[in-house]
Amino acid sequence: MMNITLRQLRVFVAAARHLNFGKAAKDLHLTPPAISMQIRDLELQVGLPLFERSGKSVSLTMTGEYLLLYARRMLATLKDAEDALARFRGLQTGRLTIGMVSTAKYFVPRLLKLFREEHPHIEIRLVVGNREQLVSQLQGNDLDLAIMGRPPREIDTRAEPFAAHPLGVVCAPEHPLMGGEPTTAAALANYGFIIRESGSGTRTAMEEYLRQHRVDVRIEMELASNETIKQAVMSGMGISFLSLHSIGMELRTGMIGVPEVEGLPLIRRWHVVNTAAKMLSPSAEAFRYFVLEHGESYLAQEFGRLQPLALEAAQAKPSGASPSSHVNPAAPAPPTPPEKPAVPSRRAARATRG
């Protein structure tokens, strides 16, 4: 095993994470045959098979499970060394791996563009997944920072809120819920829902809302993509519960409506998260400060003009209500929550159509 290379270990860890050589190849910007060759060479070095292959699916052998544990440790140690040495070089260059929940893809890339204008020589890798996947990657030290709604309780993290995150019911503009009168939560039981997959933060927020209002709804379909859900909603297949930051374009064009429903919009928080034990590199610290300083104002600029009603809903909440987001007690005190959350509204949806 003395001739194992870091490249082989990185390929192995990516293949083990996806359990799919094609996805690992896409992740590492390689071809699937190159992944297969690296894995085959690594297996020759180890002297034992690392994957069990059955058609197009693969799974780790017991040997592979053990090697994965040590490979992750070695790569994490190497990353920590790179971050420590980067402090001597300053912030001119660096590598930064950022994870984000799929709902954050509607604003994080544009924030990154602004960040890159200030730090053009920092190499950035962006990873998209649901909340459970990001927690696993944080735990495995695969990410420097993560952008998510509900921070993890499973691991020790620093989770800092930087912007309001509104969620609510969305439907086609011609749906009966858009009839003009406010709707009770109980009335949602009359309609079929198209929902996000288990493990999604949006799904969890929806379930908490329905449980709080003691409403059982009919599930028509479960999908792992906000974009597919929006298409299904626009076609009239059902209604959904989504982050309102994911429907800005559809609201502007009048393709989706946000009805007035009891207890909505649900105001959560966006967080920038890192593991408490991890020493952030200068590039990661710079992006963290950038998000905390500019995240709320950017979201207000992008979405604020669409959402006069939701601001009233947020201000109408009891002043003694407990916060909806979780910040690890071991982490530093978070910044003061924003005064004007960005939340698209039904009134704005009508305005854009009119």
Q: Which region among 181-185, 249-253, 350-354 has the lowest average model confidence (pLDDT)?
A: 350-354
pLDDT at 56 over 50: yes
Q: What is the pLDDT of residues 119-154, one digit of tens each?
A: 898 999 999 999 999 999 998 888 999 999 999 988
* The pLDDT of residue 86: 67
d(CA 352, CA 207): 30
pLDDT at 340 over 80: no
Q: Span 9-25, mean pLDDT? A: 91
Which domains are delineated in the chain?
Answer: 1-76 (1.10.10.10), 164-268+338-353 (3.40.190.290)
Closest CA to 177 of 262, 247, 103, 252: 262
* The pLDDT of residue 346: 42
pLDDT at 305 over 90: no
Tokens matching residue 190: 């009359």
Residue 37 CA neighbour count, 13 Å, CB half? 6
Q: Taking the model in full, what pTM does it have? A: 0.67
* The pLDDT of residue 88: 59
Residue, of 36 and 307, whose pLDDT is higher:
36
* The pLDDT of residue 91: 61
Tokens matching residue 334: 């978070």
Helix (H, G, I), strand (E, B) or coil at 249: helix
* The pLDDT of residue 334: 39
* The pLDDT of residue 192: 97
Q: Any residues with CB less than 8 A from the CB of 98 and at least 6 apart, and which?
A: 108, 112, 124, 125, 126, 127, 143, 144, 145, 146, 147, 287
* The pLDDT of residue 337: 37
Closest CA to 176 of 238, 242, 227, 226: 238
* The pLDDT of residue 62: 93
Q: Span 41-59, mean pLDDT? A: 88
* The pLDDT of residue 271: 96
% of the chain at pLDDT higher than 90 = 59
Cβ–Cβ under 8 Å, residues 219 and 148: no
pLDDT at 343 over 60: no
Q: What is the pLDDT of residues 189-240, one digit of tens each?
A: 999 999 999 989 999 999 999 999 999 999 999 999 999 999 999 999 999 9
* The pLDDT of residue 279: 83
* The pLDDT of residue 92: 63
d(CA 156, CA 243): 26
What's the mean pLDDT when you consider all of the chain?
84
pLDDT level of residue 243 (50, 70, 90 thresholds)? very high
* The pLDDT of residue 106: 94
d(CA 190, CA 314): 26
* The pLDDT of residue 338: 37
pLDDT at 341 over 70: no
pLDDT at 64 over 90: yes
